[in-house]
Amino acid sequence: MNQAGGGATGYAVEARGVAKRFGRITALRSVDLDVPRGGVTALFGHNGAGKTTFLRIAAGLMRPTSGELKIAGLDAHKEAAAIRGHLGVVSHELFLYGDLSAMENLRFYGRLYQVDDLEARCEEVLTRVDLIHRANSRARHFSRGMAQRLAIARAFLHRPDILLLDEPYTGLDQRSVATLNELIEGFREAHHTVLLTTHDHHLGFTMATDIAILRRGEVIHHTPAAALSREEFDALYEESLQ
Amino acid sequence: MRFLQQLFTIFMKDLRLEWRTREAMSAMLLFALLVLVIFNFAFNPDREMVLAIGPGILWVAFTFAGVLGLNRAFASEQENGCLSGVLLTPMDRGAIYLGKWLANLCFTLIAEAILLPFFVLFFNLSLTTEIPPLLLVCLLGTIGFTAVGTLLAAISANTRLREVMLPVLLFPIIVPVIIGAVQSTGLILNHETEGLTSFIRMLALYDVIFLVTSTLLFDFVLEE
């Protein structure tokens, strides 16, 4: 559906001094982060570091208190509607209606995204996440892992070019993890961009082309994954927890 | 065209969910029927009394039942963060509001269509020529309070005391609708025409103002 818009830079996400406060609580102090197009950027950090808040801001579900954010070269505040078509989001929340079947959930979102060949596309993504045999089952009757796979199918449905994945491996068994990794790999091969958060730092490190570590609402490290050995990354990750 | 398609998609989704669960309709009907029965036993009204207090009783039943339905309106959207899922799509926020409003209007009108014969039966009324103007008043009154109610249900859905918050926010704002609807219904049941047109115009004006402002304000209501 989309090709990342005409930003002059090679970045899919550009954050400058993005801050978010909830009353007296500061969730993001000041995030500066450039997410290169066509790569997988893994955002690490301890609980409360601000990963989910940053992803919700990037997804347009939350406004930053201050700072500037560009997605696909577009201003996140002024061109929010245009940006939404570029994004596929997997979050802690599944965004699924329990009393609609898997197929009905996908049809509903597909119509809102104006997906071409909707029926065929729904079947295609359900097949990719190995849920085609449960297409007519209500989402309420799915296990957590199956529901997560359906949520992933929903995120891919409209052929986005930027994926925002917040703890996408939650509840997935080994087979589903492999399926998701294949989807991410295929996405990357198509020169699309992935920004993901995960607590599984080994899996995240394996998947990532870029690594960013958040601590107390600030990016304290941002480097290409190839520039670090596993041991160096582990040391950096441990440091971020202190 | 795209706006209407998106509006229709939201509306059909709500209709399908309600058909599957019947949560809103069953609560609305049961509650409103009880209101009618209790008022009937409490007052045991004769014909004169029915004409005096009947319109008030009818609209108390309608609005209280409507509030129950409105309280359920965003329950399905809160489950699994579905409202966020809808907000992630590139659709117009006004279409979300209008789709939700249309579904609420539909549920409330269906409930009213079922309740009205019970009202006639319990209070021993015989309606013939009064039916068309009465239906018009029901339609205009219901459009008014569901227009405001859908907006306020979206606000109260994110509060801890949402069951209480919605009526607290809603009732002061819909006072003009309730007054207009009760007065119009009274005039119709009493076969009086003087002043009826003014009340109907007032209801129609209220509907237009609150539908337009609510559609425009919905985007701000959804901001986190």
The whole-number pLDDT of residue B104 equals: 95
> What pLDDT, in 10s, does the model give residues B143-168?
999 999 999 999 998 787 878 899 99
Residues of A in contact with B76 (CB under 8 A): 97, 99
Amino acid occupying residue A136:
N
Which residue of A61, A90, A154, A157 is the best one to mutate when testing the B interface, meaning the one whose CB has the most B CBs within 10 A? A61
Both tokens assigned to B107: 């549920």
- The domain segmentation of chain A, as residue ranges, is 38-52+87-241
Question: In CATH, what number does A38-52+87-241 get?
Answer: 3.40.50.300
- The B-side interface with A (CB below 8 A) comprises 2, 5-6, 9, 13, 16-17, 20-21, 76, 79-82, 84-92, 223-224
The 10 Å Cβ neighbour count of residue B164 is 12
Output A4 or B13, whichever has higher pLDDT. B13
> Cβ contact (<8 Å) for B90 and A98?
no
Q: What is the DSSP letter of A9?
A: S
* Number of cross-chain residue pairs from A and B with Cβ atoms under 8 Å apart: 72
Q: Is A163 on the interface with B (CB under 8 A)?
A: no
- Distances in whole angstroms, Cα of residue B148 to Cα of each of A7, B64, B158, B211: 41, 14, 17, 7
Residue B170 has pLDDT above 50, yes or no: yes
Catalogue the long-range contacts made by B20-28 (C-beta closer than 8 Å, 24 or more residues apart). B20/A99, B21/A99, B23/B72, B23/B75, B24/B68, B24/B69, B24/B72, B24/B73, B24/B107, B25/B69, B25/B107, B25/B110, B25/B111, B27/B68, B27/B69, B27/B72, B28/B65, B28/B66, B28/B68, B28/B69, B28/B107, B28/B108, B28/B111
Residues of A in contact with B17 (CB under 8 A): 97, 99-100
Q: Is A221 on the interface with B (CB under 8 A)?
A: no
Q: How far off is chain A from B180, nearest CA to CA, in Å?
A: 38
> Cβ contact (<8 Å) for A93 and B81?
yes
Taking residues B186-191, report their average pLDDT.
91
Residues of B in contact with A94 (CB under 8 A): 80-81
How many helices (H) and strands (E) in chain A?
Answer: 8, 10
Residues of B in contact with A87 (CB under 8 A): 88
The whole-number pLDDT of residue A9 equals: 65
The whole-number pLDDT of residue A1 equals: 44
> Cβ contact (<8 Å) for B85 and A95?
yes
Please name the residue of chain B whose CA is at the shortest distance from the CA of residue A22: B224
- Report the C-alpha gap between A50 and A62 in whole angstroms: 13
The whole-number pLDDT of residue A8 equals: 52
Please name the residue of chain A whose CA is at the shortest distance from the CA of residue B95: A112
State the distance between the two ends of chain A, measured CA to CA, in whole angstroms: 43
The 10 Å Cβ neighbour count of residue B125 is 14
Residue A220, φ and ψ in degrees, nearest 5 = -100, -20
> What pLDDT, in 10s, does the model give residues B42-53?
887 787 888 888
- Distances in whole angstroms, Cα of residue A89 to Cα of each of A164, A166, B12: 5, 8, 24
Residues in chain A with pLDDT < 50? 1-7
Alpha helices in chain B (DSSP H): 2-21, 23-43, 47-73, 75-78, 82-87, 93-122, 131-156, 162-189, 196-221
What mean pLDDT value characterizes chain B?
91
- How many percent of chain B have pLDDT more than 70? 100
Please name the residue of chain B whose CA is at the shortest distance from the CA of residue A110: B89
Say if CB A43 and CB A54 are below 8 A apart: yes
> Cβ contact (<8 Å) for A94 and B80?
yes
> What pLDDT, in 10s, does the model give residues B100-149?
999 999 999 999 999 999 998 888 887 788 889 999 999 999 999 999 99
- Distances in whole angstroms, Cα of residue A212 to Cα of each of A44, A201, A202: 6, 11, 14
Nearest to A98 among B5, B9, B79 (CB): B79
- Report the C-alpha gap between A77 and A70 in whole angstroms: 8
